[in-house]
Chain A
Amino acid sequence: MTTAVFFGCTFIAFGPAAALFLFTIARDPLRVIFLIAGAFFWLVSLLLSSLVWFIAVQASNKESASQQKGLLVFGVVLSVLLQEVFRFAYYKLLKKANQGLLALSQEDTMPISVRQLAYVSGLGFGFMSGSFSVVNILADSLGPGTVGIHGDSQHYFISSAFMTMAIILLHMFWGVVFFEACEKQKWLSVAVVVGSHLFVSCMTFLNPQYEGSLIPAYLVTLLMGGWAFFCAGGSLRNLKLCLTCKDKDFLLANHRSR
């Protein structure tokens, strides 16, 4: 409830994502556009799932708290599934667009590769998802109030911030893995992505027992991060070369001087 809390939580939640955006996406206009389009697709999926939830709530018994909670759980699951459906839809749209561009252009190479698109669209999904989850909370943290005055958890803000960071990174990793799996027709991988998304969301039902939700979320984030790294063509050798700035292939391929 102070500016320190506000800035701290904002930087925790959006720090990595903002850094990724600034260093890898902001310079390339094409990537920015695909990022915003990804955010738009996520938004549409949220809209649809909210619509369904809203209709269900209107049709239900508003007094019964357990029924409302049940509907909310249903809403969460539906939303997760719809998000993945829209991720697939975005993938299809990008493939079509790429094909169209290739057909039109005389060049062999596309201006943006599918892997870059996967990364950018995942980050777009992540940005939107994270923003929608946490922006209102951040705005409230600037105002007056006491956290957990009715006996709720004291760590509401900071746990929200950490959860948001995890979600944003997860969306990015899911995007990479998902697109790669779709490219290679590995439907099992797709199922694993959807399953892990459901898992992370369902673990948040355990909130405010943050051990039950944050720790699994971060474990899944690390796992997905590693998987995405290997999907995107990384390897331990690559990593070592990259970190010591000795990867000549990479430097050459990116027209960069040593």
Chain B
Amino acid sequence: MADEYHQNNVSSEDTETHCRPAEPGGAAVHVQGDTELNGQPPSTRVIQAEDDDDEELTLKYGAKHVIMLFVPVTLCMVVVVATIKSVSFYTQNDGQQLIYTPFREDTETVGQRALNSILNAAIMISVIVVMTLILVLLYKYRCYKVIHGWLFISSLLLLFFFSFIYLGEVFKTYNVAMDYLTLAVIIWNFGVVGMICIHWKGPLRLQQAYLIMISALMALVFIKYLPEWTAWLILAVISVYDLLAVLCPKGPLRILVETAQERDEPIFPALIYSSTMVWLVGMADGRENRKNKSSEPESPAVPDQQAEDDGGFTTSWVGQQQHQLGNLQSTEDTRREIQGMPSARPSANPSDDEERGVKLGLGDFIFYSMLVGKASAAASGDWNTTLACFVAILIGLCLTLLLLAIFKKALPALPISITFGLVFYFATDNLVRPFMDQLAVHQFYI
């Protein structure tokens, strides 16, 4: 039933796109844990000042954080590209489109197509803006339950419905016979474990794996249901929107962040990819009393638990926090550090840096993977384009993190990467591909 499917799609789209504007900014890795923005007491700045002394360590740990982001982003892209190249379902044009992009692109004239895609992109972006504003309002008026429920339903849909479709298509591609009973058991287990890992507690690696998988699934949905020109336009416009929303004083994301700072509330990491928390295993003893929520030292997902008690911060909110403030998670750590016992940790800085993980909003994963996936789907089967986009996005991410370390200010992660990605996609597809093809025909090497 196409309608039902679209309905489901819509609601998940709702939540997803809703979260995305919340987190289009992606990484705000603050290497030194310099997240002075999260309402930290001024005393923390004293500690941060000492960080200037070990720039080398900072550079090393900055590099470590960059790699901690490179790996999941790469994995997500690999999953998306592998699926696109093998499962033809995601590149087929079934004629179905999302409800947000009603205009069709199979028109007679180029001008009409351009107009339709512009309208589609405009509708999609306005939907995203509206949802971000709703989120801000909900957050401002403390409707945490609504936000929490919304996110719960969206991840439910992703983990059960979309993965069911994905699995079905993979089986079709490889001609694997599967009975519904086994399938039900598999999907049920996958979904339930996913919900537990993401919204509650679970092994860190498993949680990361699930977040990567749902980002990949979402990116695949976008790749399938967004027509060609619309997709590129949306990517371009959303990076502009991200830039504005994060940097402008009246931007919704900025308002969200400031409200969060005023309330001094911790985060809800349900839709944020996090690479830290492993340190808690070793640190548990000194910190247990302070961390009133985390009672099990071996649980890596302690902040999750914390967040639950705190009324559930929307992932989008967290997303924003992430982008703007960087390691909110580590902020708590540093807070604990400071409020706690310097005696227990004489050399605060190195271990601090190591234990400060890094977080990236899932929206960034989704858009990066969408770009690379679209590049591999649309670039006439050329792998060079995919590779070029991949490198461009990684370099964009690296530059964003570098800028963040230099300016120590909230910066959005989408613009630079997406710009590089788009430039390299079009340049490689139109300029480099014919050149390399000619070289390959004659077996010339450059």
Q: Hey, which bits of chain A sit against chain B, CB under 8 A?
A: 29-30, 32-33, 36-37, 39-40, 43, 46-47, 49-51, 53-54, 57, 68-69, 72-73, 75-76, 79-80, 83, 101, 104-107, 109-111, 128-129, 131-133, 135-137, 139, 156, 159-160, 163-164, 167, 200-201, 204-205, 207-208, 213
State the CA gap A204–B430 with chains docked (Å): 25
Q: What string of 1s and 0s marks CB contacts (under 8 Å) between B373-390 and chain A?
A: 000000001111001100
Contact between chains at A47 and B431 (CB < 8 Å): yes
Contact between chains at A83 and B446 (CB < 8 Å): yes
Residue of B66, B384, B395, B445 near A136 (CB, 8 A) is B384
Question: Does B107 have its Cβ within 8 Å of any Cβ on chain A?
Answer: no
Contact between chains at B445 and A201 (CB < 8 Å): yes
Residue of A43, A136, A167 near B424 (CB, 8 A) is A43
Query: Which among A40, A104, A137 has the greatest number of chain B C-beta atoms within 10 A?
Result: A40
Contact between chains at B432 and A36 (CB < 8 Å): no
Contact between chains at A54 and B443 (CB < 8 Å): no
Query: Which among B424, B427, B443 has the greatest number of chain A C-beta atoms within 10 A?
Result: B443
Contact between chains at B391 and A43 (CB < 8 Å): yes
A228: shortest Cβ distance to chain B, in Å? 20
Interface residues in B38-61 by Cβ distance below 8 A to A read 52-56, 59-60
Contact between chains at B431 and A135 (CB < 8 Å): no
Contact between chains at A46 and B432 (CB < 8 Å): yes
Contact between chains at A29 and B384 (CB < 8 Å): no
Contact between chains at A107 and B443 (CB < 8 Å): no
Contact between chains at A159 and B384 (CB < 8 Å): no
Contact between chains at B391 and A40 (CB < 8 Å): yes
Interface size range on B against A = 35 or more
A-B contact pairs, 12 of them (CB 8 A): A37-B398, A40-B392, A46-B446, A50-B427, A50-B436, A68-B438, A72-B438, A72-B439, A75-B435, A76-B439, A204-B445, A213-B443
Question: Does B414 have its Cβ within 8 Å of any Cβ on chain A?
Answer: no
Query: Which among A32, A57, A159 has the greatest number of chain B C-beta atoms within 10 A?
Result: A32
State the CA gap A160–B441 with chains docked (Å): 11
Q: Which residue from chain A places its CB closest to the CB of B401 in the assembled complex? A: A33
Question: Does B442 have its Cβ within 8 Å of any Cβ on chain A?
Answer: yes
Question: Does B428 have its Cβ within 8 Å of any Cβ on chain A?
Answer: yes
Contacts of A75 in B (CB 8 A): 435, 438-439
Q: Which residue from chain B places its CB closest to the CB of A79 in the assembled complex? A: B446
A36: shortest Cβ distance to chain B, in Å? 5
Question: Does B272 have its Cβ within 8 Å of any Cβ on chain A?
Answer: no
Contact between chains at B59 and A111 (CB < 8 Å): yes
Contact between chains at B66 and A33 (CB < 8 Å): yes
Interface residues in B47-84 by Cβ distance below 8 A to A read 52-56, 59-60, 63-64, 66-67, 70
State the CA gap A57–B435 with chains docked (Å): 10
Contact between chains at B446 and A136 (CB < 8 Å): no
Interface residues in B334-365 by Cβ distance below 8 A to A read none
Query: Which among B53, B435, B437, B442 has the greatest number of chain A C-beta atoms within 10 A?
Result: B435
Contact between chains at B383 and A201 (CB < 8 Å): no
B349: shortest Cβ distance to chain A, in Å? 13
Contact between chains at B431 and A54 (CB < 8 Å): yes
Question: Does B440 have its Cβ within 8 Å of any Cβ on chain A?
Answer: yes
Given A36-B398, A76-B444, A79-B446, 16 more A-B residue pairs with CB atoms under 8 Å apart are A29-B67, A33-B66, A37-B398, A49-B446, A51-B427, A101-B55, A101-B56, A111-B60, A129-B446, A136-B383, A139-B381, A200-B445, A201-B446, A204-B443, A207-B443, A208-B443
Contact between chains at A40 and B395 (CB < 8 Å): yes
Interface residues in B70-102 by Cβ distance below 8 A to A read 70
Q: Which 7 A-B pairs have the closest CB atoms?
A: A105-B55, A207-B443, A29-B67, A29-B63, A30-B63, A50-B431, A50-B435
A233: shortest Cβ distance to chain B, in Å? 23
Contact between chains at B67 and A136 (CB < 8 Å): no
Contact between chains at A33 and B67 (CB < 8 Å): yes
